[in-house]
Structure 1
Amino acid sequence: MTIPFELPQEDRKLSPVTGYTRAHWEAVADGLLGAAWRWATPRGALLDLPGAPSVSGVRSDGLEGYARTLLAAAFRVAGADGKDPHGWLDRYAEGLAAGTATPGRDDAESWPLILDHHVQGQPMVESASVALGLTLTRRWLWDRLDDGVRERTESWLRGALTHTPAPNNWYLFPFTVASFLEAVGRGDAATARARERALGLMETWYRGDGWYADGDGRSFDHYNGWALHLYPMLHAHLSGDAELLARFGPRLREHLEGFSLLFAGDGAPVHFGRSLTYRFAATAAVGVGALTGHTPLSPGASRRLASGSLRYFLDRGAVTDQGLLSLGWHGPHAATLQNYSGPASPYWASKGFVALLAPEDHPLWTATEEAAPSEGPDRVLALPAPGLLVQSTGADGIVRLHNHGSDQIPPHAGEAASQEDAHYSRHAYSTHTGPTSLTNVPDNHLAVEVGGARSVRRRILPLGAGHGDGWGWAASWHRPVFPSGAPMVPGLRVESVTVARGRHELRVHRVVGAPPGAHVSLTGWATDALASELTGLHGWAERDAVRAPQGTAYEPWVRVPRLTAPVEGTGVFAALATLGGTAAEAAPADAVTEVTYADGELRVTWTDGPTTVITFTPVSVRCE
C-alpha cells in the first residue's frame, strides 16, 4: 500500500531484503510526526488525533499524542546529534510550556494530573515518555528552557513519584521519571526510592531465559521487549551505569536468543499478547541490543529484523491516508485493541525508533543485511521459564508460538470466564494468523462442554518444556472455567502437551474428571488464505470446520478446523495440526505411521523414523 509521505530510494545492495536504510527510518519518523502535528492544539500541548476516545478520556489521549510522538522526535534528533531540520523540538518545547502551566485545568492546553493508576492513571504512562524524551534531547531542549518551565515540568513529573502505579511494568514509569530528574540534578529521596523500588521488583519478576513476568503473575508477551528490557537498559546506557549494564545486559542478550526467532520471514512479529497496536515497537529490544552491544545478533541480522518489521506494517496499511498510525494491526482492527487504546496509542510504536540512537557510522546501519533467524532451517526452541515453545519453518517463513505458560492473571485474581482474553488463552499463536474474536469460535483451543456450556482456558500452569535435535515440547495444565451461570465441575482439569517437528504440531490433551454427558472439542489455526489442517490421531470421533465470520487481524473471514468427541472420566486425545504448506503436506499419512496408547503412555511414530513418547502423572516427553 502507498503511504502519504515520501521515502528515499531503496538500497538493495546494503539492504538486499528490505531495501531500507537509516534514511528510511528518519523519513518514516518525520512523516509520522508531520501528520500527527496537524492535529495539535494551538500551542502544541495536546495532539488530539481523530478517533473514538479511550477509557481515559480525550484530554489524556491528547497528552498521549504529545508524549508518544515526542519519543519518535527525541530518537530522531538525538540520533542525529541534535540536527533537527524540521524544528520538532521547538514545537515540543512550546507544548511543554503550555501543558504544564496549569495542570488539571479544563482548557485548551493543560495536561491532566498524574494520579493513581485506578483513578484516570494513564498520564503516569505518558510521564515516562516525556521524561525519556527530555533525557535524550537534554542539550537541545531541556537546557534551553527557562527556569519557570523547568520548575513546572518537574512539579508535574513528580506526580509519578507520589502516586501508585499499576502492579506491573508501570513501576518503570516513575523509574524513568526519577532517572531524568537525577540526570538534571534534581534527584532526592523520592527519586532514589522510585528507582530502587523498580529495580527491586525487576529482580522478583525475572524468571530466566531472558524473560520477565509483567508483574507478580505469569504474563509474558511483547512488554518484555518494549518495556521491561527497554527502560532499564536505556537508563543504564544513557547514565553510564556499568553495574546495571552488567546486570541487565546479559539478560537482554539471552532474551534476544529466543525473541529474535519470533519474527517471520516477511517481518511480522508474532501476534500474541496485549497492546499489539504498538506494532513495530516489538523491535525495540533488538535496537537496544544493537546499540549497547548486548545482543547475540550480528548488526546485519538486527537491521533485518527491525527494518523488516517496519516495512511489514507500512506495506500492509498500518498508516492511514492521513499519515497516521491506525488502531489495529495491518489496518484498523477493533478486536486487537484494549479499552485503554485511544487514537494516539499506536504511537508507542515510536519505541522502535530507538535504533536511530545508533549513529550513521554504526555497524547496525553500515553492515549488509543478513537473514533473520526464522529464515534459515526449520527450528524448534523451548523456553521453559515463560513456558513457551517457538517453532519456525524456513520454507514459508511462518513462526508459531505455543503458549504453555503466559496467562496475564495476577496471583490474587480469580479465573472468572468474563476475563477471558483471546490474546493469551489460546494454545497457539503465529506471525501469519490472529486469534478469532470472543464472539466467534475460538481457534487453537481445547474446550470441555458440559450441559451445553463451553469451557475457557484462564490460568495456565506450566508442566515443563524442552527441545532436542529438530524437535521440542512444552506442557501445561489448566482448570476449565465455564461462562457465568454454568456450574463448576470439581476435579475437572486438562493437561496439554505440544510437540513440534518441522511444520507439524502434535497436540495431546488429557481430560480428567469429566462428568457424564460431557464432550470435548479441539480447534486448529484460523485462516482461509493458508492451509490449516487438524487431524485426529487418537480419541477423536468427528471432524468438521467452523466459520468465524468476524475474521482475524489478518483476514476478514476465516475457517477453523475442529475435532469433537464425547468424554467421561479420563480421556486422552491426540491430533496433528499444521499451518501453511498444502493440505497434502499436512495429512497425517505423510507424517505419522503409527499411534498407540496403552498403560498411560502415548506413542507416536513419525514417518522419518523417531517415536515420540508422552506419559502423564507426571508429564514427560521423550524421543526414541
Structure 2
Amino acid sequence: MSTFATTSPFASNPLQTRSDLQNFLVGLLDPLAAHTSPGGARIHLGYTATHYDEAAAQLEGFSRPLWGLASLIAGGGEYAGVNRWVEGFANGTDRQHEEFWGDMRDKDQRMVECSAIGFSIAVAGKALWDPLSAAAKKNLEDWLGGMNDKEMPNTNWLWFRVFANLGLSKAGSPRADTKRMKADLDHLDTFYVGDGWSRDGPEGVIQLDYYSSSFAIQFSQLLYSKLAQDVDPERCAEYRKRATRFAVDFVHYFDTEGRAVAFGRSMTYRFAMSSFWGALAFADVELPEPLSWGVIKGLQLRNIRYWARQPGAYSPDGTLTIGYNYPNHNLTENYNSPGSPYWCCESFIALALPPTHPFWTAEEAPYPSVLLEKTVELHKPMHIASSRGGHTFILSSGQQCSYPVKQSAAKYGKFAYSAAFGYSVPVGNLTLEELGGDNTLALSDDDGETWKCRRVTREARFENGCLRSMWYPWKGVEVETWLVPPQAEAPLWHLRVHRIKTDRKLTSAEGAFAIYGQRGDGRHLDALEKADDFGTGTFADPQGVARAVSRDGVSGIIDLGAAKDRQGVAMRMDPNTNLVVARSVLPTLSAENSALEKDIWLVTAVFGLPSAGGEEGPRKGWEAEWAKRPAVPSFIPIA
C-alpha cells in the first residue's frame, strides 16, 4: 500500500533518549506559533465549540503546552519560543488588553488551566515569571488568586486550585492562600479509597479512570510530594506511599507494545495516560521489583513512542487533532476544545529531571515477564486485568460517570476494554452499525428501532474470581451478568454469562472486540465461506459464530448456549465508531428473545488476539487457540 498520508510527522524520532524526548516536545511546540495570537495570550487551533466560552478555549490552547515547556526549562533545557508564553502571561491577565482571559467565575473552565500555569511558575519561574514586569506579576497574581473565593466542582478540579496557590507560594506572592490550599488538600484526601486509588469525587461517586491516575489525582499528588515536601512532609510521604501501592495495579493497564487500555472519558489526552510513570521519577519514588527504573522508563517511553507514530493524532502541520488514533469528534466530551489534547504534555514531566537521574541513566527495560500471562483482580476500580495469550485488556463492572457525559455507556459500561482494539462509541441511534456495540449486550424492545446498552451497573461485586453485576434497562427487565476472565486452558477467550428476566419481547445483539475491517489493499474484508478457512476475512454462520481476521489480529464470538439460537454476523460498522481504527468490523451475535415466563440465558465466549511487534496479521498458531473452548464455571447457576 502507498504510504502517502499514512506517516506521522514524528515517526522518524526514535524516542529513546532524553534529547529525543526534548526534540519531540519542541516539534509539538513549534507549530503552535502560527496559531498564537499577536499578544501571545491565546492559541486558536480550530472552530469547534465547547460548553464554555471561546476565550477560555483559547486559554486552554495556551496553557496546556506549559506542562511540557516548564518541564523542559526545569531540567535545564531551552526553548527559543519561550517569550510567546511570557508575553501571554502579561497580556492574558491585563484587563485593559484585548486578549484578557476574563476573570474567573464559579466553576469556570479557566480554573482548570490554572494548574499548568501554577506548575510552570513553581518549576520554571526564572524563565516564565522573573522576566515579567512588576505590573504584569501583580496582574497574574491577582488573576490566579481570583479563584480562591470561587465555588469549584467537587472533583479532581480542586487540584487545579492547589497548584495555582503552590505556584504563587513559590513565587513569594502575597496572593498565595495557604489556608485555602490546605483545606482543598484535606478535602481531596477524602476521595481516597485505598490501595493507592482515589475516586474522582466524594463518597457515592464510582469513577476510577485515568483521572484517578495519570490525568489528575496521582499525577498531582506526586508533583506536590516533590514541590511541597519542605512545608508538608507528612502528606507528601503519604502521597509517595499511595503511588507505590497504586503502581502495582496500574502497570496492568499497559501492554508490551506501549499501548494503554482505553477506558473512560478524555481519551483525546492520549499519552497523558502514561504521565504517572514520569511523575514517579520526578518525585524520586523508587518502586520495588520488578518495577525498576528501567521498567518505569520503558513504560513511559514506549507509550510516547506509540503515540508519536500515529499519523491521525496530528494535523499535517504537527498540531494535535481532537480524537484518539485519528480525528474523531464522536468520542469527545462537551469540554474538549481544539487545545484540549495538549494535556498530553504532562508526559514530558521526565524532562524536568537532570540527565544524571536514574530514570535517564537506567537502560530501558521491557515489560516485566513476571507480570504477563496472568489475570489480576483490581478491586478498587472493579476491573479484572488480563495479559494472557498476548492480549492486554480489562473486564469491567461497577463504574459509571456520576454526571452526564456524552457516550458514557460506551466509556464506562462495556464488559471489556482493550489496549490494542480500543472501544467504540455511537455515531447515531437507529441501527446496530451506528451503535458501536463492541463488548456490550445491546437490547431493543421495539424490534430494533432503538437500542440500550449497560450504562449504570448495580450490585457489582467480585465473586469466585469473576465479576457479577445487575443492569436494569427498563422497568420489568433485569439483566444479571457474570464476566469470567481467561483461563490458562483457553488464554485468549473470556466468558460472559447473562440471565435476562423480561416482561416483554426483546431483540439482543452482543459484540466482541471491534477490529480493523479492511484488506491489505484497503478494500473491506471479504466473507469466507468455510469455518476452517482461517485466512484474512470474515466468517459468520447462523449457529452462533462470528469471526474477523485482518492486519490487526483476530476477534471472534461464539454462542455457547444450549439452544445455539443466536445468529452470527460480521457487522461492518459505520465509520468513525471505533477509537483506534476508522473502518471497523464487529463480530456479533443477534437473536430474538421472547421467553417471558422463564429466565433467558445467554452464554458467550469472546476471542481477542492483536497483532504484535509491528507485524501485520494474527500471530502464528492462533488457529489452535481458536479451537479451544472455555468452560462455564459450575457456580454459575445456568438452568
Given the two structures, how large is their TM-score scaled by the length of structure 1?
Answer: 0.84
Counterpart position of 2:560 = 537
Aligned partners of 1:160 and 1:173 also within 8 Å? no
Aligned partners of 1:68 and 1:126 also within 8 Å? yes
Q: Does 1:584 align with 2:570?
A: no
Aligned partners of 1:70 and 1:129 also within 8 Å? yes
Counterpart position of 1:443 = 438
Deviation at 1:505, TM superposition (A): 0.5
Aligned partners of 1:48 and 1:58 also within 8 Å? no
Q: Which moved more, 1:55-64 or 1:446-455?
A: 446-455
Deviation at 1:518, TM superposition (A): 3.0
Deviations 1:106-133 (A, max 9, x none): x2x211322222xxx2111111111111
Mapping for residues 360-439 of structure 1, pairs under 5 Å = 360-373=355-368, 377-393=372-388, 396=390, 398-410=391-403, 420-438=408-426, 439=428
- Identify which of 64, 75, 80 aligns with 1:79: 75
Q: Note closer, same or farther for the CA distance 1:458–1:4 as it changes in structure 2 (3 Å cut).
A: closer
Q: Note closer, same or farther for the CA distance 1:371–1:613 as it changes in structure 2 (3 Å cut).
A: farther
- SS of the residue 1:382 aligns to: strand
Distance 1:364 1:341 in 2: 32
- Identify which of 61, 64, 68 aligns with 1:65: 61
Mapping for residues 125-524 of structure 1, pairs under 5 Å = 125-186=112-173, 191-216=177-202, 217-224=205-212, 225-240=214-229, 241-294=232-285, 295-296=287-288, 297-317=291-311, 318-373=313-368, 377-393=372-388, 396=390, 398-410=391-403, 420-438=408-426, 439=428, 440-441=434-435, 442-452=437-447, 453-461=450-458, 463-465=460-462, 472-480=465-473, 488-490=474-476, 492-501=478-487, 502-511=491-500, 513-524=501-512
Q: Note closer, same or farther for the CA distance 1:192–1:443 as it changes in structure 2 (3 Å cut).
A: same
Aligned partners of 1:382 and 1:474 also within 8 Å? no
The number of aligned residues is: 561
Counterpart position of 1:559 = 585
- SS of the residue 2:480 aligns to: strand
Distance 1:142 1:75 in 2: 14
Amino acid of the structure 1 residue aligned with 2:182: E
Amino acid of the structure 2 residue aligned with 1:405: G
Amino acid of the structure 2 residue aligned with 1:549: D
Deviation at 1:76, TM superposition (A): 0.6
Distance 1:516 1:65 in 2: 50
Deviation at 1:211, TM superposition (A): 1.9
Aligned partners of 1:260 and 1:373 also within 8 Å? no
Deviation at 1:4, TM superposition (A): 4.2
Deviations 1:350-378 (A, max 9, x none): 10011112210111111111112479631
Amino acid of the structure 1 residue aligned with 2:362: A
Deviation at 1:227, TM superposition (A): 0.3
Distance 1:3 1:525 in 2: 26
Aligned partners of 1:279 and 1:346 also within 8 Å? yes
Deviations 1:303-356 (A, max 9, x none): 111111111111111232201111111231222322211111111011001111
Amino acid of the structure 2 residue aligned with 1:36: L
Distance 1:314 1:149 in 2: 37
- Identify which of 94, 104, 107 aligns with 1:101: 94
Aligned partners of 2:481 and 2:496 also within 8 Å? no
Aligned partners of 2:118 and 2:163 also within 8 Å? yes
Q: Note closer, same or farther for the CA distance 1:23–1:183 as it changes in structure 2 (3 Å cut).
A: same
Structure 1 stretches lacking a partner, 5+ long: 11-18, 481-487, 596-603, 605-611, 618-624
Deviation at 1:421, TM superposition (A): 3.5
- SS of the residue 1:197 aligns to: helix
Aligned partners of 2:483 and 2:494 also within 8 Å? no
Distance 1:7 1:292 in 2: 31
Q: Note closer, same or farther for the CA distance 1:543–1:3 as it changes in structure 2 (3 Å cut).
A: closer
Distance 1:383 1:314 in 2: 30
Distance 1:134 1:367 in 2: 29
- SS of the residue 2:356 aligns to: coil
- Identify which of 36, 39, 44 aligns with 1:48: 44
Q: Does 1:89 align with 2:89?
A: no
* Percentage of matched positions with identical amino acids: 26
Distance 2:181 2:637 in 1: 45
Structure 2 stretches lacking a partner, 5+ long: 1-5, 429-433, 518-549, 610-617
Deviation at 1:69, TM superposition (A): 1.4
Counterpart position of 1:570 = 599
Distance 1:432 1:226 in 2: 20
Deviation at 1:516, TM superposition (A): 4.1
Counterpart position of 2:547 = none
Counterpart position of 1:525 = 513
Counterpart position of 1:621 = none
Distance 1:475 1:194 in 2: 42
Amino acid of the structure 2 residue aligned with 1:67: S
Distance 1:4 1:377 in 2: 33
Counterpart position of 1:609 = none
Aligned partners of 2:386 and 2:485 also within 8 Å? no
Deviations 1:75-129 (A, max 9, x none): 111012xx42x334333211111111117x7x2x211322222xxx211111111
Relative to its length, the structure with more strand (as a share) is: 1
Distance 1:269 1:187 in 2: 42
Q: Which moved more, 1:246-255 or 1:344-353?
A: 246-255
Deviation at 1:160, TM superposition (A): 2.1
- Identify which of 556, 572, 578 aligns with 1:547: 572
Q: Which moved more, 1:65-74 or 1:52-61?
A: 52-61
Deviations 1:509-531 (A, max 9, x none): 222x3114234432211113331
- SS of the residue 1:591 aligns to: coil
Aligned partners of 1:578 and 1:586 also within 8 Å? no
Distance 1:145 1:426 in 2: 50
Distance 1:474 1:5 in 2: 41
Q: Note closer, same or farther for the CA distance 1:573–1:28 as it changes in structure 2 (3 Å cut).
A: same
Amino acid of the structure 2 residue aligned with 1:129: A
